Amino acid sequence: MRRSGCWMVYLGLESVNQATLDGYEKSQSVDDIIHAVHTLHEHGIKSHGMFVLGADSDGPDVVRTTVDFALKHRIDTVMLNILTPAPGTVFYDEMDAAGRIFDKRWEYYDALHVVFQPAQMSPYHLQKEMIRGYARFYGLRRWLGFLFTLRFAKLMFQTWGYSIVRSWRRDPRNRAYVEELRQQRSRPAPTAVEPRSPA
């Protein structure tokens, strides 16, 4: 692959929680994920890890443990997607019937805004942890580390990620949405609904 010009692979890793992978009916294990990332790196290919956070089997620390995993195994860039019940899917219908969808403004169905009640945390907690997770992975400390060690490809990715995170956090619409969630933190415990696929 590397000789063909491939320099990065986008990986739909979904989760580093084995219970969540099983709930998504994914065939890979966490060990498989580790092996895949390390194999790519051994062949000089960078990895872009895409995760889906907020399944019923995910605890309040899901974002932190996901970022820990990405840093430990040197995943080059990440997407921390919030589980989103897409309209028209069976998962959406099940979540809606369970009374767990609280926002139907479709502009927020972008995997960056929490629109449903998670099982083990408040929507606000998941939203804030997603923001913190991005800020931690693409933070200034890591940027400076790549600068001082002259790792310019890493520095480019870090700059790209940092600018996107900063722009998202400064957007008045996003700030207002997070504030809405903060004010609505107290919600009843939901009925569990496990998606068969994060899509």
Residue 117 pLDDT exceeds 90:
yes
Q: Is residue 194 part of a domain?
A: no
1 falls within a domain: no
What domain count does the chain have? 1
Containing structural domain, residue 84: 8-183
Residue 163, pLDDT score: 78
Across the beta sheet with 77-82, the strand order is 8-14, 46-53, 77-82
In a domain, 188, yes or no: no
User: Using one digit for the tens of pLDDT, what is the confidence trace for 32-48?
Assistant: 999 999 999 999 999 99
pLDDT at 75: 94
Residue 3 lies in a domain: no
CB 185 within 8 A of CB 126: no
Is residue 104 situated within a structural domain?
yes
Measured over the CA atoms of residue 22, residue 161, residue 77 and residue 145, the dihedral's sign is: negative
Contact 142, 155 (CB under 8 A): no
Q: Is residue 175 part of a domain?
A: yes
CATH number (domain holding residue 81)? 3.30.750.200
User: Over 70: is that where the pLDDT of 188 sits?
Assistant: no
Q: Kindly state the average pLDDT of the residues 87-94.
A: 96
pTM, to two decimals: 0.86
pLDDT score of 129: 98
Cα dihedral sign, 146-7-69-119: positive
Q: Which conformational region is residue 93 in: left (phi greater than 0), alpha (psi within -120 to 50 degrees), or beta?
A: alpha
149 inside domain: yes
DSSP calls for 101-151: B----GGG-SSSS--B--SSS-HHHHHHHHHHHHHHHT-HHHHHHHHHTT-
Q: Domain for residue 105, yes or no?
A: yes
Please tell me the least confidently modeled range out of 92-101, 102-111, 114-123, 130-139.
Answer: 130-139
**pLDDT at residue 73 tops 90:** yes
Counted residue by residue, the chain has a size of 199
Lowest mean pLDDT of 8-17, 27-36, 75-84, 147-156, name the range: 147-156
